């Protein structure tokens, strides 16, 4: 075998190795994107259950977190006589809720922690440790849940969301779901 043949074999081997690496990397991105799409669906489902019970969606803070977790000052909203304020819904309105931590906290009934959770654990972006995160925005009447897809091939990829330049951690958000009620 000549030097030329060895160089050609080495180049072919290198091209095969590179194409396999690119395919593997794309496969990992696709897998994470599918997980993100499933996570947003899970969050959406939990939010709809929450709204049925409370009559509104959890509010959000300025950091894109859900204000739905119990804190030291969390309690039922009281009327002027100090009794729980009347509600048309199954659950009384809660006050002084704190931000829930993605990937750690549950979306649950803050007045009854024994009640089944609406979401057992709020999902975190698969690349949370690399600075990616989900963003939640809500005024109680409607909501937006945003995330970042690594590949633009998904039908959920939305250039309009990308053009809004909302940060989902390090990258800009480029997909999501929303219910808009004014």
Q: What is the pLDDT of residues 43-80, one digit of tens each?
A: 999 999 999 988 999 999 999 999 999 999 988 888 88
* Backbone Cα Rg of the chain: 23
Q: Above 80 in pLDDT, residue 42?
A: yes
- The count of other CB atoms within 10 Å of the CB of residue 166 is 17
Q: Above 60 in pLDDT, residue 13?
A: no
5-19, 43-57, 98-112, 167-181: range with lowest mean pLDDT: 5-19
Torsion of CA 36, 41, 43, 48, to 10 degrees: 170
- Under 8 Å between Cβ of 134 and 148: no
- Per the DSSP assignment, residues forming a β-bridge with 167 are 172
Q: How confident is the model at residue 14, as a pLDDT?
A: 59
DSSP helix/strand/coil, 82: coil
Most confident of the ranges 107-111, 152-156, 166-170: 166-170
Q: How confident is the model at residue 94, as a pLDDT?
A: 87
CA distances from 55 to 47, 64, 74, 121, 147 (A): 11, 21, 18, 22, 25
Q: Above 80 in pLDDT, residue 24?
A: no
- Mean of the pLDDT values across residues 129-136? 97
Q: How confident is the model at residue 142 (pLDDT cuts 50, 70, 90)?
A: very high
Q: How confident is the model at residue 175 (pLDDT cuts 50, 70, 90)?
A: very high
Q: What percent of the chain has pLDDT over 90?
A: 65
């Amino acid at each position: 075998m000549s030097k030329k043949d060895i160089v050609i074999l080495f180049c072919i081997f290198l091209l095969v190795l590179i194409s396999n690496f690119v395919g593997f990397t794309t496969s990992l991105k696709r897998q994470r994107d599918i997980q993100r799409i499933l996570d947003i669906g899970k969050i959406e489902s939990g939010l709809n259950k929450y709204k049925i019970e409370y009559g509104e969606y959890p509010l959000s803070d300025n950091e894109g977190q859900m204000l739905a977790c119990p804190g030291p000052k969390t309690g039922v909203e009281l009327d002027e006589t100090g009794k729980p304020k009347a509600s048309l819904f199954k659950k009384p309105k809660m006050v002084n809720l704190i931000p829930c931590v993605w990937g750690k906290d549950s979306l649950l009934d803050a007045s009854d922690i024994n009640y089944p959770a609406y979401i057992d654990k709020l999902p975190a972006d698969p690349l949370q440790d690399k600075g990616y995160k989900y963003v939640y925005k809500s005024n109680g009447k409607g909501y937006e849940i945003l995330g970042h897809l690594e590949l633009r091939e998904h039908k959920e990829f939305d250039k309009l969301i990308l053009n809004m330049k909302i940060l989902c951690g390090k990258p800009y958000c480029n997909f999501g779901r929303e219910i808009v009620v004014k």
